[in-house]
Amino acid sequence: MTNVHSPTGDPSDRGQRAWTQVVLSGMKNKVPNVLSRKDQFGERERFDSDTIWEEETIAQKIMAQRATAMIQNTLFMETVLFSFKASDFQHHTEAFKLVNDNVGEIISGRPITKYGNPQRNELIIEVKFCDPTNGTKAVKEGFVFKDILYKGVPANDGANDKLVRLSLSQLPFFVSRQELSDGLRQSLGRFGKVCQVKRLTNRGYFEGEAVVILDISPQDDAPWHQLERRLHLATWDIVVPASFKGAPPICFLCRQSGHIRKNCPRLEHVTCFNCKGKGHYARHCPEPKATEGQQLDDYLESTQKVSEKVRDQQGRTTKRAKATKEQVVIETPSNDGINKSQLHAETATSDAQSTETDQGEMDEVEYEEIMETDRNNTSAATTKRKLPKKVGSSKMVRKTVINAFKATSKRTGNGTTPLIQKQQLLKQLHEQQAASQANGQDLSGFSILPPTTDPASGRLAHD
């Protein structure tokens, strides 16, 4: 139960908050699941209802509404409805005769329950009296049949009233029947005319759930307050979840009412991992799922960006590294036109940076070195580098790619096809690289070399 009391719990603070503030604070909250059909033990909830208060004419109104709902049509003017037990008759026309004999001559009638539920022991008929005064008599006095008093219901009286069945939960479960009825009638009076209050009990226990029938037919003076998924009950100063037909939807993402998941404002800030679009998660991406190769390309691109950023921040270190690049050049066989000195400069840069960058950047650098290791296993210095145990930002993607590369390398060692795939992937990459180079861009931040093979064994270089 969301209590809107002041955080201090001091009741004297209550008066200082505007009523609208109290209500609004309740509305901002999430809407919990209301009246779930099954409990945590998987059993279907069975509630017994106990009518604790009702308006005199509500039974008639409900019957008129049920009849209207069954035939999916309006009832005729000046007709009268009767509801009998179906088991008391052999044929529904016997009910017409019963009314004709006990109240007055009828022109004719029709069985409404013909369109209803055959499982129910119920026979609702609509009849029209020759003399309209007999209709009034049927409604006011009725007649006795098998010791039961049957009264007619004017078919159009209340049939057009807008009755709403409101299910409430999280009510105070320790109040008496009278307190509950009074409290609900008092608190819900703003939303409509309370016609009936039913307390729901679960195996004899009242657990704070109730059903209220509200008449929300438009009235002449002030309009009713609109029903919401969370209603403020002034009697107890609580906001409780409510459910009713035509209630505003509840968003499955943020669980606030008033919009569906698709229109959730939270999605504005979400970027899809699949298509990089805004406003949805990869799980709901309309684009085809990116292949591993595309994901790798995307990853490598992002790596390059990060490397450039790091290098910009560490300009001083880069200069120092460039000065020492001659010392770390290692001859590796490569059939690619990439400037090796630049690439090895990056290796040196990385070494220099690792002392000064933060953990996230260090991971980036270390990762690059591992990738180097993967190709240049002739370099004793880098081969000794271990996979970073602690992985920083974007760790999952990085780790995945590292593992993928390792796995690929191992498999290619046995002369299987993934080597070709890997080469194709990197070929694409190098084409992009070459294009960038042609535009005069500095690619020294780009640390990925093509898969190099040991000319002697033809195997992919791998430690």
| Shortest Å distance, C-beta 290 to Zn ion | 9
User: What whole-number distance in Å separates Cα of residue 306 and Cα of residue 304?
Assistant: 5
**Residue 267 near Zn ion by CB under 5 A:** no
C-beta atoms surrounding 232 within 10 Å: 22
Q: Which stretch binds Zn ion (CB under 5 A): 42-50, 61-69, 82-90, 243-251?
A: 243-251
β-strand partners of 163: 215
Q: Quick one: tokens of 221?
A: 């003076």
User: What whole-number distance in Å separates Cα of residue 310 and Cα of residue 356?
Assistant: 11
Q: Which stretch binds Zn ion (CB under 5 A): 4-12, 192-200, 210-218, 250-258?
A: 250-258
Between vectors from CA 180 to CA 174 and to CA 184, what angle results, nearest 5°? 135
Q: Which of 11, 132, 249, 277 binds Zn ion (CB under 5 A)?
A: 277
Q: Which is nearer to Zn ion, 4 or 285 (CB)?
A: 285
**Residue 270 near Zn ion by CB under 5 A:** no
User: What whole-number distance in Å separates Cα of residue 43 and Cα of residue 45?
Assistant: 6
What would you report as the CA-atom Rg of the chain, rounded to the nearest whole angstrom? 39
**Residue 254 near Zn ion by CB under 5 A:** yes
| Shortest Å distance, C-beta 259 to Zn ion | 6
Q: Which is nearer to Zn ion, 138 or 251 (CB)?
A: 251
**Residue 338 near Zn ion by CB under 5 A:** no
**Residue 31 near Zn ion by CB under 5 A:** no
Q: Which is nearer to Zn ion, 247 or 391 (CB)?
A: 247
Q: Check if the beta carbon of residue 169 is closer than 8 Å to that of residue 209.
A: yes
| Shortest Å distance, C-beta 252 to Zn ion | 8
Give SS3 for 325.
helix
**Residue 27 near Zn ion by CB under 5 A:** no
**Residue 70 near Zn ion by CB under 5 A:** no
How far, CA to CA in Å, does 380 sit from each of 109, 215, 384, 460?
A: 101, 84, 7, 17
| Shortest Å distance, C-beta 21 to Zn ion | 22
Q: Which is nearer to Zn ion, 44 or 283 (CB)?
A: 283
Residues 7-26 that bind Zn ion (CB under 5 A): none
What residues contact residue 372 under an 8 Å CB cut-off, 6+ apart? 347, 379, 382, 447, 449
Q: Which of 285, 328, 330, 391 binds Zn ion (CB under 5 A)?
A: 285
Q: Which stretch binds Zn ion (CB under 5 A): 31-39, 222-230, 262-270, 348-356?
A: 262-270
Q: Which is nearer to Zn ion, 70 or 254 (CB)?
A: 254
Q: Which is nearer to Zn ion, 266 or 385 (CB)?
A: 266
| Shortest Å distance, C-beta 280 to Zn ion | 6
User: What whole-number distance in Å separates Cα of residue 189 and Cα of residue 116?
Assistant: 33
Closest CA to 210 of 226, 234, 224, 231: 231
| Category of 258 on φ-ψ map: left (φ > 0), alpha (ψ -120 to 50) or beta | left
Q: Quick one: tokens of 43?
A: 């059993």
Q: Which of 275, 328, 391, 402 binds Zn ion (CB under 5 A)?
A: 275
H or E, element range at 350: helix 340-353
Q: Which is nearer to Zn ion, 83 or 274 (CB)?
A: 274
**Residue 290 near Zn ion by CB under 5 A:** no
Question: How are beta strands 48-54 and 153-154 bridged, if at all?
Answer: unpaired
**Count of residues of this chain found to bind Zn ion when the rule CB under 5 A is applied:** 9
User: What whole-number distance in Å separates Cα of residue 67 and Cα of residue 218?
Assistant: 22
**Residue 251 near Zn ion by CB under 5 A:** yes
Q: Which is nearer to Zn ion, 267 or 329 (CB)?
A: 267
Q: Quick one: tokens of 117?
A: 């539920």
Q: Quick one: tokens of 181?
A: 């009825």
Q: Which of 23, 59, 70, 272 binds Zn ion (CB under 5 A)?
A: 272
Q: Which of 253, 391, 404, 443 binds Zn ion (CB under 5 A)?
A: 253
Q: Which is nearer to Zn ion, 31 or 163 (CB)?
A: 31
User: Which parts of 273-388 are beta strand (E)?
Assistant: none
| Shortest Å distance, C-beta 48 to Zn ion | 36
Residues that bind Zn ion (CB under 5 A): 251, 253-254, 264, 272, 274-275, 277, 285
